[in-house]
Structure 1
Amino acid sequence: MSSNDIRPFRIDIPQADLDDLRERLTRTRWIDEVPGTGWERGVPTAYLRELAAYWAEKFDWRAIEARLNEYPQFTTTIDGQNVHFLHIRSEREDATPLLLIHGWPGTPADFLDLIGPLTDPAAHGDPQAPAFHLVIPTLPGHGFSGPLTETGWHDGKVAAALAELMARLGYERYGVQGGDHGAFVGPRLAREHGEHVIGVHANALVTFPTGDPADMAALTEAEQQRLAAMKQWQDDGSAYMNLAGSRPNTLAQLLADSPAGQLGWIVEKYKEWTDASHELPEQAIDRDKILTTVAVYWLTDTARSAANYYYERFHDYTMFAPKPKGTVPTGVAVFTTADFAIRRFAEKAHNIVHWSEFYSGGHFPALEVPELLAGDIREFFSGLTR
């Protein structure tokens, strides 16, 4: 067997690991709460304690495992790193290969509700919509791709690995979609491997002010509010990223030893980044879907690699170096919460040919509003040719 081989994979977590998880959760030393405080100081203890009890006693990992195993899964080794992925081919002969890239917190399970609508649109009420062959990788160092074994896995190296994955699958031309990390990796893949990418669709695209006074003066009221929200996030909501990007191993040790800590670390983001009309994260995303993400990171022991991903990005000298404007057609979907993309800024860096704004859903549209995301993906790629 060569290192380029693609190997079938099935998820099969040892029962001893599940028993250990449950036992650790029951032994959690819970912190006291200051009376009168809430989510503004982080996850409330009462909420986290109840969610941890649900995880220990009611969450059915085996059911999740069985659902994930319904889809063809594989692993391959790229540049010395294991890469796990789902590969679901459409029955349509005219289907377009599409790479779906998750972010953090996230896993390929984020996209399960998109698989049917994208591979078989006729069965989901839209026979005229384009169909896709889906490749859904686990980012190197995350989840079932397993912990990273070396440094240097920044966005550029990940993009190159995913380009190699598509080549191994025989896809010469393909589309890319991603949010969060995927909104960094997808455009970079298009920029550095553009001869293979027909188009990039992104949600949660990060845009930065251009420094041009004319651009700032031309901002609409809504764009000014979005820019102010981004400033508020930088001041009050980015501590997780700064810690991971500067001292990842210290953080990872805390998360690797405490499932309750891992739960709090991730569920806080589901609270803060989902549609703000919801008071609790499970009102935006089903509780079992939230716990699926948390369980995957815990059971695969990839807290270190996930945190180090930010470190690699922060210390990649090419990340924010001046670059020519991208040429690959790019579509952007903007959702409500924690989504600060501004078109006039995006157009300075990307070849924007499609821009949609939605007034429901948040940072996790594949989990919150999959029908809106699937529709926008189909609309964008229907205007592109292979």
Structure 2
Amino acid sequence: MSTAIEAKTIAVPEEQLQDLRNRLARIRWPDGATVDDISQGPVPAKLRALADYWANGYDWRRVESELNGWGIHRTTIDRLPIDFLHIRSPEPDALPLVLTHGWPGSVLEFRKVIGPLSDPAFYGADPRSAFHLVIPVLPGFGFSAKPSEVGWNIPRIARAWVELMQRLGYERWGAQGGDLGCAVTDEIAKLQPAGFIGSHLNFAMFPPTPDEIENATPAEREALRDAKHFWDELSGYAKEQQTRPQTIGYSLADSPIGLAAWIYAMFQDTCGTPGDAEASFTYDEMLDDIMLYWLPNSGASAARLYWEMVQSDWSSPARIDDPIRTPVGFTMPPKEAVRKSRRQLERRYANIVYFNEPSEGGHFFALEQPDILVADIRATFTQLR
């Protein structure tokens, strides 16, 4: 199997963009609304406004140029072609850092932190805090290859990322992630590969124990209420993707507004301004992400990762009886619905070197509060370099 790393360019044929415009001109909107709020999902007026901009004001070539400008590469690992961005810092002693996105995110989650992390001097920060950035595309996501066999679960992805960093020649490196990126990063930490020095997370993937629920502090009780609301009212997407990703996949592949609503709902429900996606994100930011599912037809293949997690009986490796021992820093946003307290984290991570609870931000933290995330990543790895 080849270990070659090749440059790649995204160039979407104009016919695909015209096909999208044609589909947006023929949207069949649902009838019979019985509520005028978001209790049943995104309201039609907001989706209509988003679709109108998508059809008449959105420019895909802008984001295509942005992606190509960062430098897209492809290499085959474990028989699957993996795409990744590779941004080398101008600082020769920069620390390599792999950043992993989640669902329904993409590599574009990190667009606002790429410059400050890779070239801090340009942004008025200490050049000694620089990072070489490796930002892989999760298998089945974006323009990366789609698995044609079962088994591409979180542990397998983590092993692929370790191989990728080794293949790039990085002997000493760290990792960062949120959402599913947190799961992959945790799994890397559990593997403790040679040269891995630690991680930073803005999410934590474990359920509270009965004693943590019973003995919760007031702040922890508030977080538990938020988490219960999320799992009871807002997590239908997860159940569907865990059990029937192919069923929803037909809609995600065939209907642009169906795909947009599926993803927009997550922006709306989990952002730093819950219920008001437009207060946290621009139309372009949301549509750029949606396009990385629509154009490569990756709605179904990305959804399957949830199914894979269930099939492999995977659960977070951060466990009380077997805590992660590599150094880790945390940023826990106030509007993260399933946020964790420091004392809960300390039971599962044996070496927390940094912890911050900012006053703003939600689940898509890198996109919403990039300055805080950059500062927290720097603060974490300053202690580990």
TM-score (norm: length of structure 2):
0.95
Structure 2 Cα separation of the partners of residues 33 and 54 of structure 1: 24
2:161 aligns to what SS in structure 1?
helix
Q: 2:315 aligns with which of 319, 322, 326?
A: 319
Change (3 A) 1:125 1:223: same
Structure 1 Cα separation of the partners of residues 383 and 50 of structure 2: 44
Change (3 A) 1:344 1:55: same
Determine if the alignment matches structure 1 residue 222 to structure 2 residue 222: no
Q: 1:280 aligns with which of 260, 265, 276?
A: 276
Q: Which amino acid aligns with 2:344?
A: F
Q: Which amino acid aligns with 1:68?
A: L
Structure 1 Cα separation of the partners of residues 198 and 224 of structure 2: 27
Structure 1 Cα separation of the partners of residues 198 and 71 of structure 2: 25
1:17 aligns to what SS in structure 2?
helix
Tell whether the 8 Å contact from 1:24 to 1:258 is kept in structure 2 after alignment.
yes
Determine the structure 2 residue equivalent to 1:262: 259
Determine the structure 2 residue equivalent to 1:365: 365
Determine the structure 1 residue equivalent to 2:9: 10
Q: Percent identity?
A: 40
Determine if the alignment matches structure 1 residue 233 to structure 2 residue 227: no
What does residue range 89-238 of structure 1 map to in structure 2 within 5 Å? 89-127=88-126, 130-211=129-210, 213=211, 215-216=212-213, 218-238=215-235
How much has 1:344 moved relative to structure 2? 2.2
How much has 1:291 moved relative to structure 2? 0.2
Tell whether the 8 Å contact from 1:207 to 1:346 is kept in structure 2 after alignment.
no
How much has 1:336 moved relative to structure 2? 2.0
Structure 1 Cα separation of the partners of residues 93 and 127 of structure 2: 12
Q: Which amino acid aligns with 2:326?
A: V
Structure 2 Cα separation of the partners of residues 339 and 319 of structure 1: 16
How much has 1:373 moved relative to structure 2? 0.5
Determine the structure 1 residue equivalent to 2:241: 244
How much has 1:282 moved relative to structure 2? 2.2
Structure 2 Cα separation of the partners of residues 267 and 181 of structure 1: 18
Q: Which amino acid aligns with 2:231?
A: Q
CA RMSD of the aligned region, Å?
Answer: 1.6
Tell whether the 8 Å contact from 1:174 to 1:198 is kept in structure 2 after alignment.
yes
Change (3 A) 1:128 1:17: closer
Q: Which amino acid aligns with 1:166?
A: M
Tell whether the 8 Å contact from 2:206 to 2:316 is kept in structure 1 after alignment.
no
1:113 aligns to what SS in structure 2?
coil
Determine the structure 1 residue equivalent to 2:302: 306
Tell whether the 8 Å contact from 2:114 to 2:133 is kept in structure 1 after alignment.
yes
1:145 aligns to what SS in structure 2?
coil
Structure 1 Cα separation of the partners of residues 127 and 161 of structure 2: 29
Structure 1 Cα separation of the partners of residues 193 and 216 of structure 2: 31
Structure 1 Cα separation of the partners of residues 89 and 286 of structure 2: 28
Q: Mean Cα displacement is larger for which, 338-347 or 8-17? A: 338-347
How much has 1:83 moved relative to structure 2? 0.7
Structure 1 Cα separation of the partners of residues 189 and 311 of structure 2: 21
Structure 1 Cα separation of the partners of residues 145 and 26 of structure 2: 27
Tell whether the 8 Å contact from 1:207 to 1:345 is kept in structure 2 after alignment.
no
User: How far does the alpha carbon of each residue in 1:212-241 deviate from its partner, in whole angstroms, 9 at most, with x for none?
Assistant: x3x445532111100121112111111110
Structure 1 Cα separation of the partners of residues 55 and 206 of structure 2: 40
Q: Give structure 2 stretches of 5+ with no counterpart.
A: none
Q: Mean Cα displacement is larger for which, 6-15 or 47-56? A: 47-56
1:335 aligns to what SS in structure 2?
coil
User: How far does the alpha carbon of each residue in 1:21-79 deviate from its partner, in whole angstroms, 9 at most, with x for none?
Assistant: 11111111101252542111101112112211211111000111111111111011111
How much has 1:193 moved relative to structure 2? 3.6
How much has 1:319 moved relative to structure 2? 2.8
Tell whether the 8 Å contact from 1:201 to 1:380 is kept in structure 2 after alignment.
yes
Q: Give structure 1 stretches of 5+ with no counterpart.
A: none
How much has 1:4 moved relative to structure 2? 1.1
TM-score (norm: length of structure 1):
0.95
Determine the structure 1 residue equivalent to 2:25: 26
Q: Mean Cα displacement is larger for which, 113-122 or 260-269? A: 113-122
2:111 aligns to what SS in structure 1?
helix
Structure 2 Cα separation of the partners of residues 303 and 314 of structure 1: 18
Determine the structure 1 residue equivalent to 2:70: 71
Q: Mean Cα displacement is larger for which, 333-342 or 255-264? A: 333-342
User: How far does the alpha carbon of each residue in 1:97-127 deviate from its partner, in whole angstroms, 9 at most, with x for none?
Assistant: 0000001111111111111110111111212
Q: Which amino acid aligns with 1:252?
A: G
Determine the structure 2 residue equivalent to 1:374: 374
2:129 aligns to what SS in structure 1?
coil
Tell whether the 8 Å contact from 1:335 to 1:362 is kept in structure 2 after alignment.
yes
